[in-house]
């Protein structure tokens, strides 16, 4: 595709439910990143994929958060047993190589009620 | 103390003004420096990408990096209402596989 695509663009869920957020990176980009942006906060790194492997999961806030990437392309971020503090915009980015700049999608705005 | 500090603003300037946006950082290992622009309800869009110290110019935008002072700047000349957005600085070191550390962003409003 022309850019990084994320779905859904908005998600409202009840506390305690599981959610899945999807990211479709730019075609050919081997690196994929998930960030979280909360109101008044900068972007918080969550996880990074190179191909299908995740060398750096250091930013995942708890074991309720997990992510996978299949076929070196689409990635899914899963949040189990959502809490109100999980409410944020979840941004996905991809890059063509390690030293290349990141290209971001428009994010998924998650609201946990 | 955060690794990257950025004044959140908001910063309001009249159309045509020169805008100066700044970030300071504490990690001397940072080598790559970026500025992103983010419109409301959109993802960050890369504006400038620089390596190490020095200046880089692209149209109305100039990025400056002073590693000795751990200070980076973005200048916008002849500011336009369409420049109204949040500007995020970001940086990384050479060994962290593109993991970026972001500032919190400065909200800029350019008025007619």
pLDDT, tens digit, 9 for 90 and up, residues B37-91: 999 999 999 999 998 888 999 999 999 999 999 999 999 999 999 999 999 999 9
Size of interface A-B (CB pairs under 8 A): 58
d(CA A27, CA A86): 29
**Which tokens in the block code for residue A54?**
């995740």
pLDDT of B96 reads 58
Residue A4 vs residue A1, higher pLDDT: A4
Of A26-35, A76-85, B24-33, B87-96, the poorest mean pLDDT is in: B87-96
pLDDT of B57 reads 95
pLDDT of B66 reads 94
Q: Which of residues 41-80 of B touch A (CB under 8 A)?
A: 41-46, 49
Residue B29 vs residue B98, higher pLDDT: B29
Q: Do A102 and B98 touch (CB under 8 A)?
A: yes
pLDDT in tens, A21-78: 999 999 999 999 999 999 877 899 999 998 888 878 889 999 999 999 988 899 999 9
Q: What is the mean pLDDT of residues B22-35?
A: 94
| Structural element, H or E, at residue A10 | strand A10-13
Q: Do B105 and A104 touch (CB under 8 A)?
A: no
Residue pair B105/B38 in contact (Cβ under 8 Å)? The answer is: yes
Residue to substitute from A38, A90, A102, interface B, most B β-carbons within 10 A: A102
Per-position DSSP letters for chain B, written without gaps between them: --SEEE----EEEETT--EEEEEEE--TTEEEEEEEEE-TTS--EEEEEEESSEEEEETTEEEEEETTTTEEEEEESS--GGG-EEEEEEEEETTSTT--EE---EEEEEE-
Query: What's CA B67's distance to the chain center, in Å?
Result: 15
Q: Do A98 and B97 touch (CB under 8 A)?
A: yes
pLDDT of B53 reads 84
Buried b (16+ CB within 10 A) or exposed e, A29-59: bbbbbbbbbeeeebbbbbbbbbeeebebeeb
CA distances from residue B15 to B82, B83, B84, B98 in whole angstroms, order as listed: 10, 10, 10, 35
pLDDT of B68 reads 93
Say yes or no: A55 contacts chain B, CB-CB below 8 A: yes
Which chain A residues contact residue B23 at CB under 8 A?
Answer: none
Which residues are bridge partners to B6 per DSSP? B23
Is the pLDDT at B97 greater than 70? The verdict is no
Name the nearest CA neighbour of A105 among A7, A12, A28: A7
Which chain B residues contact residue A23 at CB under 8 A?
Answer: none
Residue pair A68/A75 in contact (Cβ under 8 Å)? The answer is: yes
Q: Is A101 exposed, middle or buried (0-12, 13-18, 19+ CB in 10 A)?
A: middle
Is the pLDDT at A1 greater than 60? The verdict is no
pLDDT of B98 reads 59
Of A31, A55, A105, the CB nearest to B43: A105
Q: Do B88 and A42 touch (CB under 8 A)?
A: yes
Q: What is the mean pLDDT of residues A10-27?
A: 97
Per DSSP, helices labelled H in chain A are none
First to last CA, chain B: 37
Residue pair A47/A33 in contact (Cβ under 8 Å)? The answer is: yes
At A86, is the secondary structure helix, strand, or coil?
helix
């Amino acid at each position: 595709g022309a850019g990084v695509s994320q779905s859904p663009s908005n998600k409202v869920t009840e506390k305690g439910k599981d959610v899945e957020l999807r990211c479709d990176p730019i075609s050919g980009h081997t690196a994929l990143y998930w960030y979280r942006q909360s109101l008044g906060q900068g972007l918080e790194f969550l996880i990074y994929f190179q191909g299908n492997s995740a060398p750096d999961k250091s930013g995942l806030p708890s074991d309720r958060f997990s992510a996978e990437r299949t076929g070196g392309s689409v990635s899914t971020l899963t949040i189990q047993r959502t809490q109100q503090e999980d409410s944020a915009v979840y941004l996905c980015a991809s890059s063509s190589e390690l030293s290349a700049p990141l290209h971001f999608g428009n994010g998924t705005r998650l609201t946990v009620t | 103390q955060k690794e990257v500090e950025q004044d959140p603003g908001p910063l309001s300037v009249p159309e045509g003004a020169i805008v100066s946006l700044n970030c300071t950082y504490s990690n001397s290992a940072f080598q790559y420096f970026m500025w992103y622009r983010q419109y409301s309800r959109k993802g960050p869009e890369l504006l400038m990408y620089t390596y190490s110290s020095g200046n880089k110019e692209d149209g109305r935008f100039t990025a400056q990096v002073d590693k000795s002072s751990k200070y980076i700047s973005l200048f916008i000349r002849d500011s336009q209402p369409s420049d109204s957005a949040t500007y995020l600085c970001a940086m990384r070191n050479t060994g962290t596989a593109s993991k970026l550390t972001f500032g919190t962003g400065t909200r800029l409003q350019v008025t007619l």
